[in-house]
Amino acid sequence: MATAAFFSFSAILLLSLTLPSNACLPSDRVALLYFKSTLIERHLGIFRTWRGTDCCRRWYGVSCDPETHRVADINLRGESEDPIFEKANRTGYMIGHISPAVCRLTRLSSLTIADWKGISGPIPSCITSLPFLRILDLVGNKFTGPIPADIGRLSRLTVLNVADNQISGYIPRSLTNLSSLMHLDIRSNQISGTIPRNFGKLRMLSRALLSKNKLTGAIPASISYIYRLSDLDLSLNQLSGPIPAALGKMAVLATLNLDGNKMSGQIPTTLINSGISILNLSRNALEGYIPDAFGPRSYFTVLDLSYNNLRGRIPKSISTATFVGHLDVSHNHLCGPIPVGAPFDHLEASSFTYNDCLCGKPLRAC
Ligand SMILES: *[C@@H]1O[C@H](CO)[C@@H](O)[C@H](O)[C@H]1NC(C)=O
Ligand SMILES: *[C@@H]1O[C@H](CO)[C@@H](O)[C@H](O)[C@H]1NC(C)=O
Ligand SMILES: *[C@@H]1O[C@H](CO)[C@@H](O)[C@H](O)[C@H]1NC(C)=O
């Protein structure tokens, strides 16, 4: 009798020593169950793993901080190499919305709910109260409504990816307060209004992908202060005004896509002899001459100037470029002989067609 009592007492002691200290916090578990209750995923059964008391163990896509045992990451991707997908032989599909209960996970450092194609509703505005959030990745769903206005409170945020959704509203003015932000991707949404003038405050930014929205106004010159920026994609918006010449002076800018806007004025000379290797200015209202400023630093895998109002000749200096892989100057008002030169000898007639009077190889002789 005494032995049995002692035995069960030590069992309880053991339980209380091991189980609760490793298990997740009951309030985290409850928050996760609320989160799950507004989502439906029928094909893979990922939420069937969300059972039992310890949400830090074997709950698909959930991980905890090993010291605090608080939920630190929710990582749910609808497209993945994970065996659960191989077994189902399909990509994920999920509907429903994100419950504000997720904001009770106060130690959350990453929230990835990506490529489920069907999740709708707004991004809960309370997520801006998660002080440890570093990654917010909601790409490839059907989220609507705006980016939360006070997103700028997330001082640790390094990745903000809401691409391929139906987000509307403006770029919040507070966004430029995200002083840790390295990767901004809002492509393919319905975001309107202007790019904040002080966008250049985002000093840590290396990729700024804003294409396929309804952005208007000018490209802020302050962007050129972003020392680490290597990839700037503003294509397929309604941006207007001149291209800031300072973009061609940026230290590591390698890709500049401004195609499909209403940019006017001349092509800044700085862009032609810079570190930029992908330059797409197609389908704008650019005028004047192609700057005669090519040189050994000019190395273009893509140089697309098609569908503008450029006139004059293709500058002779283009033959001094180190490389021009894909050139397109079609659909302009260019005239005169096409220069010859090794960097672009391989180009086809389609690169030059629909101009006023270009001639020479690969078009008809002059
Ligand atoms: C997986 O699905 C594809 C078509 O969706 C089918 O061609 C293939 O045979 C399937 N593989 C298995 C192992 O069921
Ligand atoms: C940006 O941060 C500063 C300093 O914390 C604050 O005063 C300002 O109101 C913030 N701006 C916005 C638009 O939230
Ligand atoms: C440049 O942009 C235009 C217009 O958006 C697009 O059609 C074209 O494919 C792009 N060029 C290259 C080489 O990617």
Mean pLDDT of 309-331: 96
Could you tell me which CATH class the domain 266-366 is placed in?
alpha beta
| Confidence band, pLDDT 50/70/90 cuts, at residue 3 | very low
Ligand 2: residue whose CA is nearest its atom 9: 174
Residue 28 CB–ligand 3 contact under 6 Å: no
Q: What is the residue-wise DSSP string for 14-37?
A: HHHHHHHHHSPPHHHHHHHHHHHH
What lies within 8 Å, CB to CB, of 87 at 6+ separation is none
Q: What is the pLDDT of residue 157?
A: 98
Residue 351 CB–ligand 3 contact under 6 Å: no
* Chain mean pLDDT for the chain: 93
Top-confidence residue, 216 or 343: 216
| SS3 call for 217 | strand
| SS3 call for 335 | strand
Q: What is the pLDDT of residue 13?
A: 43
- d(CA 193, CA 292) in angstroms, rounded, equals 35
| Confidence band, pLDDT 50/70/90 cuts, at residue 8 | very low
CB atoms within 10 A of CB 162: 22
Q: What is the pLDDT of residue 20?
A: 53
Helix (H) or strand (E) holding 88: helix 83-88
Of 177, 180, 198, which is best to mutate to test ligand 2, by the most ligand atoms within 8 angstroms of its C-beta? 177
Whether the per-residue pLDDT at 11 is higher than 70: the answer is no
Mean pLDDT of 143-169: 98
CB atoms within 10 A of CB 295: 12
**Least confident among 82-91, 166-175, 182-191, 245-254:** 82-91
Ligand 2: residue whose CA is nearest its atom 10: 174
| Confidence band, pLDDT 50/70/90 cuts, at residue 364 | very high
Q: What is the pLDDT of residue 1?
A: 39
Top-confidence residue, 19 or 185: 185
Hey, what CATH topology would domain 22-108 get? 3.80.10
Q: What is the pLDDT of residue 138?
A: 98
CATH 3.80.10.10 in the chain is located at 22-108, 266-366
Of 174, 178, 179, 201, which is best to mutate to test ligand 2, by the most ligand atoms within 8 angstroms of its C-beta? 174
Q: What is the pLDDT of residue 21?
A: 58
Whether the per-residue pLDDT at 305 is higher than 80: the answer is yes
Q: What is the pLDDT of residue 319?
A: 93
Whether the per-residue pLDDT at 18 is higher than 50: the answer is no
Residue 282 CB–ligand 3 contact under 6 Å: yes
The string of pLDDT tens digits covering residues 26-68 is 999 999 999 999 999 999 999 999 999 999 999 999 999 999 9
Mean pLDDT of 338-365: 92
Q: What is the pLDDT of residue 306?
A: 98
Mean pLDDT of 189-206: 98
The string of pLDDT tens digits covering residues 102-144 is 999 999 999 999 999 999 999 999 999 999 999 999 999 999 9
Tokens of 268: 């800044």
The string of pLDDT tens digits covering residues 261-303 is 999 999 999 999 999 999 999 999 999 999 999 999 999 999 9
* Gap between the terminal Cα atoms of the chain: 110
Residue 212 CB–ligand 3 contact under 6 Å: no
Four-residue CA torsion sign, 73, 76, 79, 84:
positive
